[in-house]
A and B are shown apart, each in its own frame.
Chain A
Amino acid sequence: MNALRWAVLVIAVLVMNAPVIVTIATSLKPAAEIMSNPGLIVQSPTLANYATVVTVSDRLNVWAHLINSVVAALIGSILPLALCLPFAFAAARRGFGRRLLLPLVVNLRALPLIIFAIPIYLMYQAVGLLDTRIGLGLVLAVVNLPLTMLILLNAVAEIPRELDEAAAMDGARTGRLIARIILPTVRPALATAFVFGFITAWNEFLFGLILTTQHAVPMTVGASFFFAAGGGGVQWGVAAAVIVVASLPPVVLGLAMYKQIGRAMVAGAVKG
């Protein structure tokens, strides 16, 4: 029975990760080998494709895309923390906003983003936020609000009431109380929400596609532009290397934190 289990596991892992394996293999093939050998065994592995990727050219500036992604994803994952923590305190401790605001934020998860994309585009066009990292980051924060809210709400609710009640007795104002007692205690939750938010923001595609054109294009969109611009003559090895580079940051973060992320997902899922 256990042998059968191992067989199913190996097959599941290989099939579900097949595109990843294919892409890594292709990224290691020299240009000449790609057409002659479409198989997975690389005959003369090389890092030449990666060297091409990191070299700035007029077809691809990977560094610009990476910086855009980092900046936008940082805004998109830190802003929700700042917006949600004060409210999470009011909601968890005083039941504030539990009837309207909290369900509204949590259920944003269920709405198709495209319904906001076009009006935000028009709005950004009017105020000059189109094709800027700040504009992209501001919107990515929307995507992260629901899960951030749930993670922080659970974390605040788990702090023993005596802790901040004692501080309140001592005459500490709410602002100080949040800064001195709540903030340090929920630090692990903040870290989880941040990493999860960063991955989500990095992987987002639709808003990047619609709201950026040139200066603020994030990595995911840049990679797809590289494919599209190639037309019939896509340099497959370089294209594969671009995909690997674009996928690496979230995968590394995700693998490093997969335990916390699993738990966070469940927390979000159960309460959502």
Chain B
Amino acid sequence: MIAPKTRENRLLATPLVLYLLLLLGFPTVLNVFYSLSEVSFETLRTPRLSGFGNFTAVLSDPAFWRAVWFSLRFGVLTATVEVALGLFLAVFLSPLLQARPWLLALLTLPIMIAPAMMGLMYRLALHEFVGPLPYYLFEWFGNSPAFLSPGWVFWTVCVIEILQWTPFALLLFHLAYSSIPADVREAARMDGARGWRTFRRVELPMLMPTLALAAVIRLIDGIRVFDNIYVLVGAGPGGSTTSLPIYIYTAFFRGGSLGPALAASVLFAIAAFAGLFLALRAADRRAGA
């Protein structure tokens, strides 16, 4: 009786498995193989295995480490601010959002827009001649920073990311916060806790899983940032906004250095899998405890 069910289950999973093998499995094998080969666009069909040359080339490239550092700094900074700001807005505005749910649509509009389009919008908004932001800053304060200059550009792209994705954190927190049962709050009030104390002692612990989750999602998305930075400044002045994906992309399409680009993406994949594995282990342990 068990055997036919198993066969049937396998059959039900077959389309998905085939698709995954073709679109992710095969490319991954290709990735690893090419990264260990001497390869260029001309010799795609006849690569020669050459060991770890591409990997040593990448690991000794200062630009690669700058990109790693940029991605980490960008990811940690934006995720932290987004979670903090999102939490504040979700909790502080919750009386308004409970009474008028449509307000949430206005607050979460930015996450419906493609990050690439958001980047282009800022290219317009920050432009020194036609952009309203520099214009109003000049009008009101007589000066405006050059947002895309080497000194400013890191902070500019951070703020852009934060402004687009704080609403994501806000949305998650709003839904988690409004699903805290009323009797839990009531009980806290009976115990004499109110305002800030209720929040610290009762509500915040209940929000903690959602907070951790939003932080992890935003961290991952921050580390792999590409679209908005790419359309706004590309690699940035002096490579100052080169995230890891932008490093790989430019190495591959602009530099034509296939081997190192592939080696870098294999390293990135290993790091991503390792990070994911550790995160899942930690989550499991917490769930088990």
Chain A residues with a Cβ under 8 A of chain B: 2, 5-6, 8-9, 12-13, 15-20, 22-23, 25-26, 34-35, 38-40, 79, 82-84, 86-87, 89-90, 94, 96-97, 101, 103-105, 107-120, 122-123, 125-126, 138-139, 141-142, 174, 199, 202-206, 209-210, 220-221, 223-224, 227, 236, 239-240, 243, 246-247, 250-251, 253-255, 258-259, 262-263, 265-266, 269-270, 272
Contact = CB atoms under 8 A, between A and B. Distances in A.
A119 B28 contact: yes
A122 B261 CA distance: 13
A220 B115 CA distance: 9
Interface in B204-247: 210, 213-214, 217, 220, 223-224, 226-227, 230-231, 244-245
Contact of A17 (B109, B134, B280): B109
Contact of B163 (A5, A15, A114, A246): A15
Interface in B250-271: 252-253, 258, 261-262, 265-266, 268-269
A270 B176 CA distance: 10
A64 B8 CA distance: 43
B121 A116 contact: no
Interface string B102-128: 011111111111111110111111010
Nearest to A227: B120
A101 B92 CA distance: 41
B17 A101 contact: yes
Given A113-B245, A114-B248, 6 more contacts: A8-B92, A8-B93, A119-B31, A224-B231, A263-B175, A266-B176
Nearest to B265: A115
B76 interface: no
Contacts of A220: 114, 116-117
A202 B20 contact: no
B89 to A, nearest CB: 6
Contact of A20 (B19, B26, B113, B273): B113
Contact of A105 (B16, B176, B210): B16
B145 interface: no
A221 B114 CA distance: 11
Interface of B: 5, 8-9, 12-13, 15-17, 19-20, 23-24, 26-28, 30-31, 34, 44, 89, 92-93, 95-96, 101, 103-118, 120-125, 127, 129-136, 163-164, 166-168, 171-172, 175-176, 210, 213-214, 217, 220, 223-224, 226-227, 230-231, 244-245, 248-249, 252-253, 258, 261-262, 265-266, 268-269, 272-273, 275-276, 279-280
B30 A96 contact: no
B234 to A, nearest CB: 10
A8 B90 CA distance: 11
Given A16-B163, A110-B276, A254-B112, A119 B27 contact: yes
A13 B8 contact: no
Given A224-B120, A254-B112, A118 B12 contact: no
Contacts of A126: 44
6 contacts: A12-B107, A16-B167, A94-B5, A123-B27, A224-B120, A262-B175
A210 B113 CA distance: 20
A114 B226 contact: yes
A105 B20 contact: yes
B23 A138 contact: yes
Contacts of B252: 118
Nearest to A26: B124
A246 B166 contact: no
A34 B129 CA distance: 9
Contact of B227 (A141, A205, A236, A263): A205
Given A174-B8, A262-B175, A19 B107 contact: no
B96 A6 contact: yes
Q: Which of A84, A86, A227 has the most CB of B within 10 A?
A: A86
Nearest to A18: B125
B122 A19 contact: yes
B262 A96 contact: no
A39 B136 contact: yes
A5 B272 contact: no
A96 B122 contact: no
A90 B213 contact: no
A25 B131 CA distance: 11
A250 B245 CA distance: 25
Contact of B121 (A20, A114, A174): A20
Contact of A22 (B15, B125, B262, B266): B125
Contacts of A22: 121, 124-125, 131-133
